[in-house]
Amino acid sequence: MTTPLLVADRQRYADVRDRRLAAMLAEEDAAEDLGLDPLERVSCRLHRRWLHHCVHSADHVIKVTGHRWCRDCSSVASVGVDELTGDVLVRCGSCGTAPGTAATRQIVRTCRASLAAAQGFFPDHAGAR
């Protein structure tokens, strides 16, 4: 039974102003308990933000898995997110290339999904601004 858990999770994020984000956080918290890979999430439990909004944080560098980490240079990689085109670029701060790892591909995939999920909330207003 996941419903009581979901209610508790929703209350946990009652103060998150973006209600679509709050719903996603609650949903993914519940899914994570059921086996979802935390690194496949599009909402971040730690920062309570969409992934593409906080992936820049040092907390998202995971040397062991190679997330935002260039093993060749032992350097941190940055993530560039273009909110208009949906492009996501991972780039090592030292050699300037994208670490060719599964972790890099996962970052690109999840950040794109995060962008899409966040924008899905404003289908009518996006063009009106």
Q: By the criterion CB under 5 A, which residues form the site for Zn ion?
A: 44, 46-47, 54, 70, 72-73, 92, 94-95
Where is 50: in which H helix or E strand?
strand 49-50
Place of tokens 């992936």: 55
Give the residue from 126, 100, 103, 119 showing the smallest Cα distance to 55.
103
The pair of three-digit structure tokens given for residue 60, joined into one six-digit string:
């998202």
Q: Give me the least distance between CB of 84 and Zn ion, in Å please.
A: 22
Q: Which is nearer to Zn ion, 7 or 62 (CB)?
A: 62
Which residue, chain included where needed, has tokens 């994570």?
32
Closest separation between CB of residue 112 and Zn ion, Å? 16
* Least distance CB 50 / Zn ion (angstroms): 9
- Cβ-based nearer residue to Zn ion, 7 or 80: 80
Q: Which is nearer to Zn ion, 4 or 103 (CB)?
A: 103
Phi and psi for 97 in degrees, rounded to 5? -105, 165
